[in-house]
Amino acid sequence: MSETNTAQAASMEDLVALCKRRGFIFQSSEIYGGLTGFFDYGPLGVELKRNIRDCWWRDMVQRRDDVVGLESSIIMHPKVWQASGHVDGFTDPLVDCKVSKQRFRADQLFFAAVTIDGEVKGYVSALESDDTAGALQAAAESFKRKKAIQGALAPVVAVEFTDAAPEQIPLIPSPATGEPGSLTPPRAFNMMFETHVGALRDGSSVAYLRPETAQGMFVDFKPVVDTGRVKLPFGIAQVGKSFRNEITPRNFIFRSREFEQMEMEYFIHEDADWETAHKDWIQWCWDWLKSIGLPDSHLSLYDHPKAKLAFYSRGTTDIMFKYPFGVQELWGIAARGNYDLGQHEKASGVPQAIFDETTKKKFIPHVIEPAVGTDRIFLAVLCAAYAEEAVTDEKGNTEQRTVLRLSPRVAPVKVAVLPLLKNKEQLTTRAKELYKKLQRRYAVFYDEAGAIGRRYRRQDEIGTPYCVTIDFDTVEKDGTFTLRDRDSMRQKRITEAELFALLDEQVY
Ligand code: ATP
């Protein structure tokens, strides 16, 4: 087969459909109508997600001499979340629409004045999108038409609802009804899920599902240091579930209420050059994303403006990814000073400082924190890998194929073993023998059903990088089999030893 140049990028509809069709992701509790903001990873999804997590763990922890791992509990002492500021400050500004009963995040809701001949005639609103300004402009034009107002419409200026003046709020239409008068002023909504520990259900038994894994690393900083294996600079890393009662979960697994984080706290000396450490970690994260198949063309950096940073923060840079619904945060890399350890020292009374042998002084280390969501990487990996393309065979026949060009590092199935014919025992016996041997080290798939071309297509769609076909030459001649490469669709004959060498090089 040769490929014609008609590859198309993914739309969210294509991706969601593929995820459902091929068993990557399902809506949680779907038989009961689903639960918004929660998802299940099916047989192929769980492999892909596990591979992303395992690659991160190997590269971040096992292959570095300066990072150790941790697995802290999901429910921690409630005082942890008071000290960290989450009880008081982990809030999103929430706006209610009293008529439709819908809720919006005030920082995702925009409005604009409709100014005609220099006079404000009313307001329009739109939810944040790829083209919020365009949506507001179109709404303003429609407003002018409907009200039959003559005159020149000034270009609209989008304003976040959080910045609305009290007298403007009753005049701004709800995005749910299109009518003004039903939106409430923004109020702080704490995103932590509450639960109770023990038999009593009162204020004293309240606990929280952690909204981030990071606090585990801070609270266990001392025990890790006291085990004596680490010396500054060093990191503590963990992977685990976090929970946020997001007001508007959306964009599939991009923003959900239960998700997985991969976070690392890198502790440095208080006098260390934090800017260099911060830059180095940004570079590390970028390179790592490339190593699992995300192209430079989809990645960019966003430096948070100094004015919007928390008072203790020295700088935060996000690695952004071009998703089909817009360029969005994938990975945040924050220089957090020594705020977190300092807070826990104050709240617990347990000193968090360590002793500097050179200066003979005690100090609380500072920290650089690269924090990323596994699910967001999962979605990015799928977006970058998905293509629909027309392929033309040697006879000139053209057909459509859907292909996931996943990196072999993360592909759920590394190689498919296919006997050329199902009913020839000598072929299936050899194929099963190879399959069993490969299975000891890799996720492998055995498929003998259907025409070989259709079997290749099935593997293309789930991102299997290699297919090997056992044919009569394999069993009657030299033992070699056909290796078919997913992306180029080229085929060549190789030996078993060459196949293992190839996988060893590609799957690391
Ligand atoms: P956002 O601004 O998108 O809500 P955030 O800045 O609050 O994200 P952090 O608290 O820095 O996010 O969390 C670190 C990482 O965890 C994010 O970069 C993202 O990859 C992931 N993450 C955060 N919230 C969610 C969520 N609701 N669903 C999936 N992943 C998430």
The CATH code of the domain that includes 10 is 3.30.930.10
* Phi-psi label, residue 241: left if phi above 0, alpha if psi -120 to 50, beta otherwise: beta
Percent of the chain with pLDDT over 90: 92
pLDDT exceeds cutoff 60 at 3 = no
Which atom of ligand 1 has the smallest separation from the CA of 246?
A: 27
> 2-11, 30-39, 368-377, 390-399: which range is least confident on average?
2-11
Q: How far apart are CA 417 and CA 507, in angstroms?
A: 17
Q: What is the pLDDT of residues 465-485, one digit of tens each?
A: 999 999 999 999 999 999 999
Do 355 and 247 lie in a common domain?
A: yes
- The answer as to whether 390 is a domain residue is no
Six-digit token string for 349: 């009374």
pLDDT exceeds cutoff 50 at 363 = yes
The amino acid at residue 226 is D
Domain boundary among 362, 382, 402: 382
Domain boundary among 334, 361, 382: 382
> 112-116, 199-203, 332-336, 427-431: which range is least confident on average?
199-203
- Confidence band for 4, pLDDT divided at 50, 70 and 90: very low
Q: In a mutational test of the pocket of ligand 1, which residue from 251, 259, 323, 330 has the highest number of ligand atoms less than 8 Å from its CB?
A: 259
pLDDT exceeds cutoff 60 at 6 = no
Six-digit token string for 471: 């044919």
- The answer as to whether 127 is a domain residue is yes
Cα–ligand 1 centroid distance for 75 (angstroms): 19
pLDDT at 8: 58
Please give the average per-residue pLDDT across 269-293, as a whole number: 97
- Confidence band for 111, pLDDT divided at 50, 70 and 90: very high
Which residue's CA is the nearest one to ligand 1's atom 27? Answer: 255
pLDDT at 358: 84
- The answer as to whether 394 is a domain residue is no
Domain boundary among 361, 382, 403: 382
Say if ligand 1 is within 6 A of residue 332 CB: yes
Contact 304, 274 (CB under 8 A): no
Contact 484, 490 (CB under 8 A): yes
Q: What is the DSSP string of 11-44?
A: -HHHHHHHHHHTTSEEETTGGGT--TT-EEE-HH
- The answer as to whether 360 is a domain residue is yes
Say if ligand 1 is within 6 A of residue 331 CB: yes
Expressed in angstroms, the distance from the first to the final Cα of the chain is: 29
Contact 153, 147 (CB under 8 A): no
Q: How far apart are CA 331 and CA 141, in angstroms?
A: 38
C-alpha triplet 429, 431, 432: angle, nearest 5°: 65
Q: In a mutational test of the pocket of ligand 1, which residue from 92, 189, 248, 261 has the highest number of ligand atoms less than 8 Å from its CB?
A: 261
- The answer as to whether 196 is a domain residue is no
Tell me the pLDDT of the chain averaged across its residues. Answer: 95
pLDDT at 397: 85
pLDDT at 7: 53
Q: In a mutational test of the pocket of ligand 1, which residue from 28, 255, 308, 317 has the highest number of ligand atoms less than 8 Å from its CB?
A: 255
Cα–ligand 1 centroid distance for 165 (angstroms): 29
Say if ligand 1 is within 6 A of residue 260 CB: no
pLDDT at 9: 65
- The answer as to whether 80 is a domain residue is no
Helix, strand, coil share of the chain (percent; to 5) = 35, 30, 35
Instruction: Give the 3-state secondary structure of residue 418.
Output: strand
Q: How many CB atoms lie within 10 A of CB 358?
A: 6
> 124-133, 135-144, 189-198: which range is least confident on average?
124-133
pLDDT exceeds cutoff 90 at 310 = no
Which atom of ligand 1 has the smallest separation from the CA of 263?
A: 14
Do 181 and 219 lie in a common domain?
A: no
Do 331 and 434 lie in a common domain?
A: no
- Confidence band for 1, pLDDT divided at 50, 70 and 90: very low
- Confidence band for 5, pLDDT divided at 50, 70 and 90: very low
Percent of the chain with pLDDT over 70: 98
Which residue's CA is the nearest one to ligand 1's atom 16? Answer: 373
Do 234 and 365 lie in a common domain?
A: yes
pLDDT exceeds cutoff 80 at 325 = yes
Say if ligand 1 is within 6 A of residue 376 CB: yes
pLDDT at 229: 80
Cα–ligand 1 centroid distance for 24 (angstroms): 21
pLDDT at 138: 96
- The answer as to whether 206 is a domain residue is no
Residue 25's closest CA among 38, 11, 36? 38
- Confidence band for 311, pLDDT divided at 50, 70 and 90: confident
Contact 140, 124 (CB under 8 A): yes
Do 255 and 378 lie in a common domain?
A: yes
Say if ligand 1 is within 6 A of residue 373 CB: yes
Q: In a mutational test of the pocket of ligand 1, which residue from 325, 329, 377 has the highest number of ligand atoms less than 8 Å from its CB?
A: 329
Do 373 and 438 lie in a common domain?
A: no
Say if ligand 1 is within 6 A of residue 372 CB: yes
Q: What is the pLDDT of residues 330-361, one digit of tens each?
A: 999 999 999 999 999 999 999 999 998 888 99
DSSP letter for 394, please: T
Do 221 and 337 lie in a common domain?
A: yes
Do 341 and 229 lie in a common domain?
A: yes
Q: At what angle do helices 374-385 and 43-57 cross, to 10 degrees?
A: 110
Do 60 and 137 lie in a common domain?
A: no
Domain count, the chain: 3
- The answer as to whether 81 is a domain residue is no
Say if ligand 1 is within 6 A of residue 246 CB: yes
Do 339 and 285 lie in a common domain?
A: yes
Please give the average per-residue pLDDT across 61-73, as a whole number: 97
Domain CATH number, residue 419: 3.40.50.800
Residue reference for tokens 């190689």: 415
Q: How far apart are CA 427 and CA 419, in angstroms?
A: 6
> 202-216, 384-398, 426-440: which range is least confident on average?
384-398
Which structural domain, as residue segments, surrounds residue 220? 2-73+211-382
pLDDT at 2: 41
Which residue's CA is the nearest one to ligand 1's atom 11? Answer: 332
Do 272 and 171 lie in a common domain?
A: no
Residues with Cβ within 8 Å of 429's Cβ and at least 6 positions away in sequence, in order, are none
Residues with Cβ within 8 Å of 155's Cβ and at least 6 positions away in sequence, in order, are 137
Q: How far apart are CA 246 and CA 94, in angstroms?
A: 10
Do 325 and 225 lie in a common domain?
A: yes
